[in-house]
Chain A
């Protein structure tokens, strides 16, 4: 079973811009920390992370609106 953990136990907010310029939003380590896997066996480990705009609408490299500003290079892209 994969469950939510840490900061992901409630809605998350971040701010980009002002005088910070473009910056890393979520590191790989931060993303990993959002989830906990109850079974430690290797075959149960998380193998991919995907970005979604809604519950059913996955973010893909074809997105050209503001979502394109999210660098999804470390996430799975089925588009």
Chain B
């Protein structure tokens, strides 16, 4: 089932007990049958900070050679995020999360993400994983990718 309708009504009332009810309000939920999302690294993506790197389960590597202020990465250029309904149900976005379970939001201050742009605070050295969760309309359907990030190091 690709779509499902929910029908409801809104009743208004005042303190005198006078009421009015709207006609039917029908909400069509679409993309409720999405069951998978697959992220695929884009080789040769042209993003200068991103390196091909698949060791130890890492999806790719972000390498920032020197300390600075902030750097950004266009995540839409680095990977594709495709559901099992690729024509009309794309990923709804990316969340930065705390680990590969994808259950908790990232609580640190180094990374933030808005509209598929990852912003990295490069003011201090960092070496470690970054977990990014590709979202779908269905809360339970997502993919988490682990990226190795190096700021001022190897």
Number of interface residues of A (CB under 8 A): 44
The DSSP consensus for interface residues of chain B is: strand
Residue of A nearest to B136 (CB): A21
Q: How far, in whole Å, are A75 and B89 apart by their CA atoms in the complex?
A: 30
B31 interface residue (CB < 8 Å to A): yes
Q: How far, in whole Å, are A43 and B12 apart by their CA atoms in the complex?
A: 14
B114 interface residue (CB < 8 Å to A): no
Q: How far, in whole Å, are A16 and B8 apart by their CA atoms in the complex?
A: 15
- Chain B residues with CB under 8 Å of A21's CB are 92-93, 135, 137
Q: How far, in whole Å, are A73 and B19 apart by their CA atoms in the complex?
A: 20
Q: How far, in whole Å, are A8 and B57 apart by their CA atoms in the complex?
A: 54
B104 interface residue (CB < 8 Å to A): no
A13 interface residue (CB < 8 Å to B): yes
The DSSP consensus for interface residues of chain A is: mixed
B30 interface residue (CB < 8 Å to A): yes
- Chain A residues with CB under 8 Å of B15's CB are 43, 47
The residue that A51 contacts in the complex, of B3, B8, B16, B26, with Cβ under 8 A, is B8
Using a CB-CB cutoff of 8 Å, which residues 110-149 of chain B contact chain A? 135, 137
- Chain B residues with CB under 8 Å of A46's CB are 12-14
- Chain B residues with CB under 8 Å of A1's CB are 18
Residue of A nearest to B25 (CB): A12
Least Cβ distance of B17 to chain A in Å? 10
Contact B20 A4, beta carbon cutoff 8 Å: yes
A64 interface residue (CB < 8 Å to B): no
Task: Identify the 6 closest CB pairs spanning chains A and B, nearest first.
Answer: A17-B30, A21-B92, A2-B20, A17-B31, A52-B9, A12-B25
Name A residues whose Cβ lies closer than 8 Å to a Cβ of B: 1-4, 8-22, 25-26, 31, 34-35, 37, 43-55, 59, 66-67, 69-70, 75
Name B residues whose Cβ lies closer than 8 Å to a Cβ of A: 3-4, 6-16, 18-32, 88-90, 92-93, 135, 137
Beyond contacts A16-B28, A53-B9: 14 other A-B pairs, Cβ-Cβ < 8 A, are A2-B20, A11-B26, A12-B26, A13-B28, A14-B27, A15-B28, A17-B32, A22-B92, A45-B14, A49-B10, A52-B10, A53-B8, A66-B4, A75-B10
